[in-house]
Amino acid sequence: MGWFGKILGGAVGFGLGGPIGAILGAAAVAAMERPGPESDAVLSPVEEAQMKFFTTVFAMLGKLAKADGQVTEDEVGAVGRFMDKIHLNEQSKNFAKSIFNQAQQIDVPFEALADQYYRMAGSDRMKLVMMIDILLRVAMADGQFHPAEERLIKNTARIFNITDGEYQKLKAQYVKEFSKYYAILGCDENATVDEVKKKYRKLASEYHPDKIAHKELPEEFMVFANSKLQEINEAYAKIKEERGFK
């Protein structure tokens, strides 16, 4: 059935409280065509982890879109394109939209979502970095970065214990200059060849499909992780070509 079907069917025991849980509950009710009796279906630990990640992504994107007080068509379009990029099916897309919309209506600070997610992620730093990456990708999709959005994402990075230097490198991935390829690898343009190779090997290992498979990510975000590996490989190839090493 998958966690979508269980939640929409009124599953019990998904055990997610706090602001993210409130948004999930409201989104599930809004997404049901006809709310029915509570189901005895229970989420497995893997399904619960997937549910938490999926809900947090679209809840934070919903809050981020309203950072300047109103949600524009461009912002909705950017989120829609992100959904397409990670190959959401219609059911998943509709539920993501419900989470996105409910997050805008529930009166909790953006930072409260970030703090709860930080506690849920525990020691899994990759999940924290991936969340910042997704927020930046969508916020900068149209080539602009609203100051209110950047303030919220920078606050989130601080909550996640991501340094300003690391944040700036993540942000630089979404500019159009050649320097973005170095940013994707997390190194400076004056890095030595050995440093570039070391960074590439580390990232290629972290985003290897076998390692990603153990992260308990929703299937759609496995697609995102795989596309990230493609970006890492492309960046390394571009730098090798420019600097002439093998």
**pLDDT tens, position by position, 217-239:** 888 889 889 999 999 999 999 99
**In this structure, which topology does domain 176-246 adopt according to CATH?**
Helix Hairpins (1.10.287)
Cβ count near 22 (within 10 Å)? 16
Confidence check: pLDDT of 1 > 60: no
Position 178 confidence tier, pLDDT thresholds 50, 70, 90: confident
* Proportion of the chain above pLDDT 90, given as a percent: 52
pLDDT digits (tens, 9 = 90+) for 62-119: 999 998 888 888 889 999 999 998 999 888 899 999 999 999 999 999 999 999 999 9
**pLDDT at residue number 4:** 64
Among the listed residues 125, 128, 99, the one whose alpha carbon sits nearest the alpha carbon of residue 114: 128
Cα–Cα distances in Å, from 50 out to 62, 125, 205? Answer: 18, 16, 22
**pLDDT at residue number 13:** 42
Confidence check: pLDDT of 43 > 80: no
Distance in angstroms (rounded) separating the CA atoms of residues 54 and 218: 7
**Residue-range domain boundaries for the chain:** 2-123, 176-246
The answer to whether 100 and 54 have CB atoms below 8 angstroms apart is no
**pLDDT at residue number 103:** 95
Position 34 confidence tier, pLDDT thresholds 50, 70, 90: very low
